[in-house]
Amino acid sequence: MTQSRQSQVSLSDTPYYHCISRCVRRAYLCGDDKYTGQSFEHRRAWVVERMHYLSTVFSMDICAYAVMSNHYHIVLHVDEQLNQQLSDEDVCWRWGQLYSLPVLVQRWLRKQTCVGIESETALSIINDWRERLIDISWFMRSLNEFIARKANAEDDCSGRFWEGRFKSQALLDEEALLTCMAYVDLNPIRAGINDSIEASEYTSVYERVHGVSHQDEQQSEPPCNKKALFGFVGDTSESEQCGIPYSLLDYIELVDWSGRTIRNDKPGAIVASHPKLLHSLGLDTETWMSLASNFGKDYQGAVGTLDELALFAEHTGRRWIAKKNQLRRCLH
């Protein structure tokens, strides 16, 4: 039975969520359609550029992403602290980048509301927008609706472009976050599209390695300023700095090593030395490769320690977390 979004998101337990949206058509979101011979590769850039733009509007950061032929993955960090620090005017400005503001709020911004009830109503609307700026459903809606309209206009058709709902997975600790990010970044290698992370365009690891999301040979102007991916802070001395508590170099080493191991059809793919992060996570090679290959398919709803899963179930009104026994056997 379909679960409500409230039962899948609990910001008191974790700010990290893995979301997946899948195209409903035979004609792919991206890539080459073997039936028509038409290429939709350019649409990958649409998704990446829209993701980055929305991260500047919403109080959210992008930890990882991968745009595939008929679906995409994105790992989000919800920044509640930043959202509470926004002024009411900031909230209006952000929301106005996506949707038109009602006349009442425009008058409030110009300080033209005279009656007390008008100001109260305007502030109530703004508070609703503030909540939406940390609402994953609104982020995904703003992303998917934009892509669907643009693709329908290009295809000269109407109707659904995406499946009815996106899938959401709560990542309850740093270990689950890191494993999920690696799973997302390794998507093109597992699918046999690329054979290294350096060549895996339209993924976050490619952007972290090259500093850009993709190579555009026709682009003559430098890319416009955009919000950077959520950073790794394992190498910094400031303990209060917000970010992923591991080293970026260690993460890239781990993903690169995992990609070479997955591509075991290539001579010399499996290297003898193990990445340092594997020891930090306390995982052996077999367990790690199982998680990195099946994380998004085998573990649903939420991933974390058994205690964290129990709290998440309590806070979201669940009696059970799917695949809990499988996580117990794998991680404990």
Q: What homologous superfamily is domain 10-83+133-215+224-331 in, according to CATH?
A: Transposase IS200-like (3.30.70.1290)
- Token pair recorded at residue 327: 């996580």
22 three-state secondary structure: strand
In whole angstroms, give the CA distance from residue 44 to residue 194: 15
H-type alpha helices, 163-247: 174-185, 187-190, 204-210
Domain spans, the chain: 10-83+133-215+224-331, 100-132
In whole angstroms, give the CA distance from residue 115 to residue 208: 52
Dihedral angle sign, alpha carbons of residues 244, 8, 166, 227: negative
- Name the residue among 286, 67, 13, 294 with its Cα closest to residue 179: 294
pLDDT tens digits along 89-113: 999 999 999 999 999 999 999 988 6
First to last CA, the chain: 29
pLDDT tens digits along 11-66: 888 999 999 999 886 556 676 666 777 788 889 999 999 999 999 999 999 999 99
Long-range contacts of 229-232 (CB under 8 A, 24+ apart): 229/61, 229/62, 229/63, 229/64, 229/204, 230/61, 230/62, 230/63, 230/77
- Token pair recorded at residue 77: 């960090």
> What is each CA distance from 315 to 3, 41, 77, 304, in whole angstroms?
14, 41, 19, 15
Asked if 55 contacts 75 with a C-beta cutoff of 8 angstroms, the reply is: no
Dihedral angle sign, alpha carbons of residues 288, 302, 165, 154: negative
Q: What is the mean pLDDT of the chain?
A: 82
pLDDT tens digits along 140-153: 999 999 999 998 88
20 three-state secondary structure: strand
pLDDT tens digits along 234-283: 866 555 578 898 999 999 999 988 888 776 554 434 455 678 787 777 77
pTM to 2 decimals? 0.87
Tell me how crowded residue 152 is: count the other CB atoms within 10 A of its CB: 14
In whole angstroms, give the CA distance from residue 128 to residue 131: 5
